[in-house]
């Protein structure tokens, strides 16, 4: 304290020297934090490798498309027409035709056991009926216990049945309304283009927040916080000094994850790479600031961990649009997602990478994300413990 | 036995004294269960569809009306400038653009045919697929009726199709009945795993593990003492969550609730055992936390709760078979939603029991009473 006091007493002439000293103190603090980070090889290895391994692992493992549906066909009287329906299901990559039964007796047991998730029940004499006039009843039975995939399964099976029926009828030559469809940005409707950026957002959020959540609490728990508090560094500098080395680490992670997305999963980067990197840099700061906010409020490392991991994991997964589209959520929850930073990051990353959008289209989500980041940083600095109890 | 009891009591006193942690253990799952159970849906809301009508005829207007009435689309009439649509699509202001060519009404009238162009934002493939199917259905119906002279040949020599969808097990299609068990199990697993994984690492960091190591406690007693308090806490959270699910979401309870709780007791041994095993590796609490995060993502993403297991590649499906979360969620859904009894779930229970025993054995074997 005496050192600071005497230098202040010397008057404004030494202002420049004092600023230089303050800068040197800050640089020293950042260096110290960086050493902490680099010295612990085991933790550093975890921090660099784990996000990459997770993105690779889950990028390959998870598909949100409904595929491999186990379907059974109940066909009391097989004929040429019904055989064609069977062929259609057998040929569809979405379906696995597991059985063709003459009666529906086995269905309940098969559904209960989960060996069949969908069944197409044809009426007796389907072929003969198709040549008649009365409507031909075809039942599409779907295991609705998961309503999300159930809806998709049902609409897919109905589409196959309708196409089968449509192709049986001799079309009038040339007449009718045609529809030419262009599926923009993702013609194969692959979910991987949507999923991998989401995975990056999730992993980046939780890992970054966890990295900083621990830092200040650990200083409090081990008693080294007192040393920081009596140093000439201002609270804002303490926060900044703790965040900076992790920003570097976070950007290394971003680079690795983007390379994996591009090279391994073939996610395109249609927009500007510079904008993408800038957004990732901003978001890394956001997530780190989230960790700082947690760590200034948590009394122990355990509390900080519970808040960072248990508090962030599921909300980031479910309220960001990672798996479930934000547009699908009920209105009150859609409002809540506005304060979930990962939601805006996802809009930006998917927009830049998949749709090739630029600043003209994305300035709004970018501004929101920047605002959230500023708010989090301010909250972290304001709540920094300037004295010990 | 008495030694284990004393350790359990010490752990309990330590946790119960930490009010913040206790509040977190109960409040985080309850709040998230209440909020997030509403979020897990793929419902496709009405999509904004821009119509670029270069024709402007009454026929085109009737088409737009039909699209609007279909329930899937909200039509945005906009200036037909190509750049404007492009930007609207890229900026996600609209989900699709339907182009009606000039002279559409005339060519439908004279040649009885024309082509419409539909552009859809397919960034989200699942949503695009549903919108595409809806648009195709509406336009096909409209096209048949709009053609002068009625429908073309189909139907003349073929009986009409009466395709009837039927949903089993969840006819109300309330996704929350399906999701609440999954989300509850996820939350309880996160809390339980974190608490146990952090605990031993903390004793290492503070140096108090050495004090425990010089006591006559055996390794098995030590692990049991570390498991039981958190097992009880997690079980209490689970029961609380079950009550919340019943009261707030009215999840069905067709089968026996005590049976579900008994299964939870078996499940939690394995789920928390993983945490104990991890903490024998971790040198610091931070490492324990990162290892937990890795395991938790495996738990959650390979559980089939949010994405279908059937869609995974074979190796991931095999990995999912080792996931205790998946088996326990199957048990909960079978008993609660379908009303199944012990006979329907014995295989899953056996898997969970084996997993729990294996994890505890690993944790005991891996734990070192010697340091350095």
Nearest-angstrom CA–CA distance, B212 and A243 = 36
Handedness of CA A241, A246, A252, A255 (dihedral sign): negative
Spatial separation of the C-alpha atoms in residues B195 and B217, rounded to whole Å:
21
Question: Nearest-CA neighbor of A336 among B176, B30, B39, B177?
Answer: B39
CA distance A272 to A352: 7
Cβ(B57)–Cβ(B104) under 8 Å? yes
ipTM reported for the complex surpasses 0.90: no
Find, among A22, A31, A165, the residue nearest to B159 by Cα: A165
- Can you tell me which residue has the tokens 């969908």? A118
For residue B269, with 0-12 CB atoms within 10 Å meaning exposed, 13-18 middle and 19 or more buried, which class applies? buried
Cα within 13 Å of Cα(B103), Cβ side: 6
Nearest to A175 among B142, B152, B313 (CB): B152
pLDDT at B185 over 70: yes
Compute CA B178 distance to the chain's CA centroid, rounded to the nearest angstrom.
9
Q: What is the pLDDT of residues A5-36, one digit of tens each?
A: 444 445 555 788 888 888 888 888 888 888 88
The pairing of strands B96-100 and B113-121 is antiparallel
- For B32, which of A63, A171, A315 is closest by C-beta distance? A315
Chain B (217-276) residues lying within 8 Å, Cβ to Cβ, of chain A: none
* DSSP conformation class of A321: S
Interface touch B287/A63, C-beta < 8 Å: no
Q: Any idea what DSSP says for residue A324?
A: S
| CB-side neighbour CA atoms (13 Å) of B328 | 30
Contact of B36 with chain A, judged by CB distance below 8 Å, is answered with yes
Cβ-defined contact of A333 to B126 (cutoff 8 Å): no
**What is d(CA B317, CA B310) in angstroms, rounded to the nearest whole number?**
7
Q: Using the CB atoms, write b or e for B160-188: b if 16+ within 10 Å.
A: ebebebebbbbeeebbbbbbbbbbbbbbb
In tens, the pLDDT along A291-330 reads 989 988 888 888 898 899 989 999 999 999 888 888 888 8
Among left, alpha and beta (phi > 0; psi -120 to 50; other), residue A138 is: beta
Residue B261 predicted with pLDDT over 90: yes
Region of poorest pLDDT, from A95-104, B82-91, B215-224, B351-360: B82-91
Give dist(CA A244, CA A250) in Å, integer: 10
Q: Give φ, ψ of A131 to 5 degrees.
A: -85, -10
Cross-chain residue pair B307–A357, CB shorter than 8 Å: no
pLDDT band at B116 (very low <50, low <70, confident <90, very high): confident
pLDDT averaged over chain B?
A: 83
Rounded-to-integer distance, Cα B313 and Cα A121, Å: 29
Mean of the per-residue pLDDT values for chain A?
83
B41, B171, B311 member nearest A328 (Cβ): B41
Query: What whole-number percentage of chain A has pLDDT above 70?
Result: 92
CA distance A194 to A186: 9
pLDDT tens digits, B269-322? 999 999 999 988 888 888 888 999 999 999 999 988 888 787 788 899 899 998
Residues in contact with B313: Cβ distance below 8 Å, sequence separation at least 6, in sequence order: A60, A61
Contacts of B187 in chain A (CB under 8 A): 310, 314
This prediction has a pTM of: 0.82
Nearest CA in chain A to B166: A141
Q: HEC states along A211-275?
A: HHHHHHHHHHHHCCHHHHHHCCCCHHHHHHHHHHHHHHHHHHHHHHHHHHHHHHCCCCCCCCHHH
Distance from CA of A241 to the nearest CA of B (A): 19
Reading the block at residue A281, the tokens are 């840099």
Q: Which residues of A touch B24 (CB under 8 A)?
A: 303, 306-307, 310-311
**In which order are the strands placed within the sheet that holds A118-121?**
A95-101, A69-74, A118-121, A136-143, B161-168
- Which pLDDT band holds residue B231 (cuts at 50, 70, 90)? very high
Provide the token pair at A189.
């409707």
Measured between CB atoms, which of B120, B190, B333 is closest to A309?
Answer: B190
| Residues of chain B numbered 129-158 and touching chain A (CB < 8 Å) | 129-130, 132-133, 135-136, 139-140, 142-144, 146-147, 152-158
Q: Which helix (H) or strand (E) covers residue A49, if one does? A: helix A41-61
**Residue B205 in this model has a pLDDT that exceeds 60:** yes
Closest-CA residue to A316 (of A201, A174, A176, A229): A201
Burial (Cβ within 10 Å: 0-12, 13-18, ≥19) of residue B314: exposed
Answer yes or no: do A305 and B91 touch at CB < 8 A.
no
Read off the pLDDT of each residue in B181-198 and give the average, rounded to a whole number. Answer: 92
């Amino acid at each position: 304290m005496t050192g600071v006091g005497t230098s202040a007493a010397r008057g404004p002439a030494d202002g420049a020297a004092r600023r230089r000293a303050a800068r040197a103190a800050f640089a020293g603090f950042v260096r110290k934090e960086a050493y902490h980070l680099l010295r612990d090889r085991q933790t550093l290895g975890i921090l660099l490798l784990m996000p990459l391994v997770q993105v690779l692992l889950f990028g390959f493992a998870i598909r949100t498309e409904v595929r491999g549906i186990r379907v059974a066909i109940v066909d009391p009287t097989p004929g040429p027409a019904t055989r064609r329906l069977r062929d259609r299901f057998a040929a569809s990559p979405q379906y696995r035709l597991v059985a063709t039964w003459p009666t529906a007796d086995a269905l309940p047991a098969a559904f209960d056991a989960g060996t069949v998730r969908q069944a197409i029940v044809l009426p007796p004499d389907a072929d003969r009926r198709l040549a008649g006039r009365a409507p031909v009843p075809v039942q599409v039975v779907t295991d609705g216990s998961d309503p999300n995939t159930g809806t998709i399964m049902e609409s897919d099976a109905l589409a196959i049945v309708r196409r089968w029926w449509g192709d049986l009828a001799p079309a009038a030559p040339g007449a009718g309304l045609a529809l030419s469809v262009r599926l923009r940005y993702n013609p194969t409707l692959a979910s991987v283009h949507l999923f991998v950026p989401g995975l990056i957002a999730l992993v980046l959020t939780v890992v970054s927040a966890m990295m900083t959540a621990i830092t200040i609490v650990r200083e409090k728990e081990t008693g080294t916080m007192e040393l920081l508090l009596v140093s000439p560094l201002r609270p804002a500098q303490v926060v900044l000094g703790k965040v900076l080395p992790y920003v570097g680490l976070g950007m290394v992670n971003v680079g690795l994850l983007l390379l994996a997305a591009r090279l391994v999963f073939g996610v395109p980067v249609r927009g500007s790479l510079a904008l993408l990197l800038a957004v990732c840099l901003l978001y890394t700061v956001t997530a780190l600031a989230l960790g700082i906010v947690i760590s200034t409020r948590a009394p122990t490392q355990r509390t900080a961990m519970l808040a960072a991991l248990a508090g962030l994991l599921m909300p980031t997964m479910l309220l960001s649009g990672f798996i479930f589209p934000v547009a699908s959520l009920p209105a009150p929850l859609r409002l809540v997602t506005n304060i979930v930073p990962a939601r805006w990051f996802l809009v930006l990353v998917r927009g830049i990478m998949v749709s090739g959008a630029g600043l003209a289209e994305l300035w709004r989500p970018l501004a929101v994300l920047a605002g959230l980041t500023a708010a989090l940083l301010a909250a972290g600095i304001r709540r920094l413990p300037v004295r010990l109890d | 036995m008495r030694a284990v009891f004393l350790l359990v009591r010490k752990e309990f006193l330590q946790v119960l004294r930490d009010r913040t942690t206790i509040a977190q253990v109960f409040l985080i799952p309850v709040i998230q269960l209440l909020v997030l159970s509403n979020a897990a849906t793929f419902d496709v809301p009405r999509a904004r569809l821009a119509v670029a009508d270069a024709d402007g005829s009454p026929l085109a207007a009737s088409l737009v009306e039909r699209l609007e009435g279909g329930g899937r689309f909200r039509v945005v009439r906009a200036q037909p400038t190509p750049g404007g649509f492009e930007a609207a699509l890229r900026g996600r202001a609209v989900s699709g653009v339907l182009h009606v060519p000039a002279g559409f009404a005339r060519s439908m009238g004279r040649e009885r045919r024309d082509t419409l162009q539909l552009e859809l934002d397919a960034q989200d493939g699942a949503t695009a697929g549903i919108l595409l199917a809806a648009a195709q259905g509406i336009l096909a119906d409209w096209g048949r009726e709009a053609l002068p002279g009625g429908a073309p040949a189909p139907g003349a020599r073929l009986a009409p199709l009466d395709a009837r969808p039927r949903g089993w097990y969840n006819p109300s299609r309330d996704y929350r009945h399906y999701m609440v068990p999954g989300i509850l199990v996820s939350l309880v697993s996160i809390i339980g795993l974190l608490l146990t994984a952090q605990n031993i690492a903390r004793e290492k960091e503070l140096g108090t593990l050495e004090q425990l190591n010089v006591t006559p406690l055996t390794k098995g007693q030590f692990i049991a003492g570390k498991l039981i308090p958190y097992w009880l806490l997690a079980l209490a959270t689970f029961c609380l969550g079950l009550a919340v699910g019943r009261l707030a979401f009215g999840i069905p309870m067709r089968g026996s609730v005590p049976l579900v709780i008994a299964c939870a007791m078996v499940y939690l041994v394995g789920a928390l055992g993983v945490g104990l095993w991890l903490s024998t590796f971790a040198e610091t609490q931070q490492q324990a936390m990162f290892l937990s995060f890795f395991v938790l993502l495996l738990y959650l993403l390979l559980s089939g709760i949010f994405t279908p297991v059937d869609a995974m590649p074979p190796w991931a499906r095999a990995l999912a078979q080792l996931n205790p979360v998946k088996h326990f969620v199957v048990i909960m859904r079978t008993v609660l939603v379908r009303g199944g009894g012990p006979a329907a779930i014995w295989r899953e229970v056996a898997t969970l029991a084996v997993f729990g025993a294996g994890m505890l054995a690993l944790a005991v074997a891996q734990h070192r009473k010697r340091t350095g």
